[in-house]
Amino acid sequence: MSTAGPKETRHGYPAARDGAPLVVFDFDHTLYDGDSGGHLFAWLVRRTWWRTALALLIAPVFAPMIAFLPTRRFGIGAFVWAGTIGFHRRRDLDDLIDRYVVMHTEDIRTRLLPIGIDVLHRHREAGDRVVIATGAPPELARAILTFVAHEDVPVVGTRVGPRLFGVMATRHCHNEMKMTMLREAGFAGPVAIAYSDSTADLPLLRAAERPVVVNPKAGAVELFRRVLPQGTPILNWGCADRAGDAAAR
């Protein structure tokens, strides 16, 4: 009779148990202090003077779009395009992302939130089904977690594809679409716990049996308290410019 223990992932965590709780983490302002996609896109644009000039030229039209949910994908996509024009395949963007993460490893490491990473560790050690659902390109969050945090965790994120001699967002993993893309990626069944900072993730937080708000904007706290179940934790995991109750590591 075999005495082998449960299978492990390549980083030593037990494989998720059959029927294990599904735990969903947002990435930006939840595990990462800041807007990871914005940092990447700024680097893409600043690589050459003419990309910077192109981004400045389109900014009056596309920058305001980022502030509004119906047009956010087009606003973000325009700056991704400015940073990737001349690269025609999603794989080209993935290669640039890997280069960006390697070049900025130390800065990225300081932006990863230790409390959030500890919570992620504990869920994985418990054998829970853990997935990251982010508005950033999935390769970016995956590269940061793999190269910097040494976490091989599934990521669902914004899809990109070739557009007008560059790469643009084709499907934004955001708001209701985040839930749709999670289901399409095979993460079916009830969400046991969801962690997010954003009111755009209210569909995810409302779907969770145990929503946890982390690092919210101060102006959003009252909304979270009004629309989420009474007693929902509203925590701060280390974002100095965000609200929430201080949480011990």
* pLDDT tens-digit map of 95-118: 889 999 999 999 999 999 999 999
CATH numeric code, 22-246: 3.40.50.1000
107-152 pLDDT per residue, tens: 999 999 999 999 999 999 999 999 999 998 899 999 999 888 777 8
**Single-letter code of the amino acid located at 200:** A
pLDDT of residue 108: 93
pTM above 0.75, yes or no: yes
- With 50 as the cut, is the pLDDT of residue 192 above it? yes
d(CA 168, CA 93): 10
Kindly report the average pLDDT of the chain as a whole number: 87
In the numeric block, which tokens belong to residue 149?
Answer: 């945090």
Helices 72-84 and 90-103: crossing angle in degrees, nearest 10, is: 80
What pairs with residue 171 in β-bridges?
159
Task: Report pLDDT for 88.
Answer: 65
Measuring CA to CA, how many Å separate 76 from each of 56, 69, 90, 158, 246? 14, 11, 16, 11, 32
Q: Single out the residue of 26, 3, 74, 5 nearest to residue 191, CA to CA.
A: 26
End-to-end CA, the chain = 42
- Phi/psi for 165 (5° steps) reads 70, 15
Tell me, what amino acid is at 88? Answer: H
Is pLDDT of 9 > 60? no
pLDDT(5) > 60: no
Highest-pLDDT range among 29-38, 57-66, 76-85, 161-170: 29-38
C-alpha 164: how far from chain center: 26
